[in-house]
Structure 1
Amino acid sequence: MNQKRACIYPKDIQRITGRSERYGRKLLNDIKNFLDKEPHQFVTVDEFSDYSGIHVDIVNEYIKD
């Protein structure tokens, strides 16, 4: 069975956007603030997709393991 990750990491954002990993960490913090999440909570692929405007299928192509 092919399982995909439910959460997204700064390295994934780096691959998707072509920006630095530091930008990915900042973007994840911005998303957490926007969604009123605690610092220890994860950002899901769907939440990232909604926030960034990038279709979820495109995001999933980049995070294939």
Structure 2
Amino acid sequence: MPQVCICPKEVAQLTGTQYGTAKVLLQRIRRANGKPARAYVSVAEFCRYTHLDEAEVSRALNAK
């Protein structure tokens, strides 16, 4: 089953940033989408915000 949500550890690996920076990025994505704190961020929302290709990100996440 393909992964739908993304967590800070995966964001850090995908973007090559620190874990703390990835947490801040997810907080910004939640705020931009009007979500409450601790709400899940989907791969699609992450890709829209970062302008990354969703197919590439999904492939990287599901290749584990």
Q: Same fold (TM over 0.5)?
A: yes
Which structure's residues are more often helix, by fraction? 2
Structure 2: which 5+ residue stretches go unaligned? none
Percent identity between the two aligned chains: 25
Quote the Cα distance in structure 2 between the aligned partners of 1:27 and 1:55. 17
Matched residue, 1:36: 34
Matched residue, 2:17: 19
Which structure's residues are more often strand, by fraction? 2
Count residues with an aligned counterpart. Answer: 63
Counterpart of 2:58 (choices 57, 60, 63) is 60
**C-alpha displacement at 1:5, in angstroms?**
1.5
The letter for the 2-side match of 1:37 is: K
Kindly provide the CA deviation profile for residues 30-64 of structure 1, in whole angstroms up to 9, marking residues without a partner as x. Answer: 00011110113111000000000000011112211
Normalising by structure 2, what TM-score? Answer: 0.90
Give the superposed CA RMSD.
1.0
Normalising by structure 1, what TM-score? Answer: 0.89
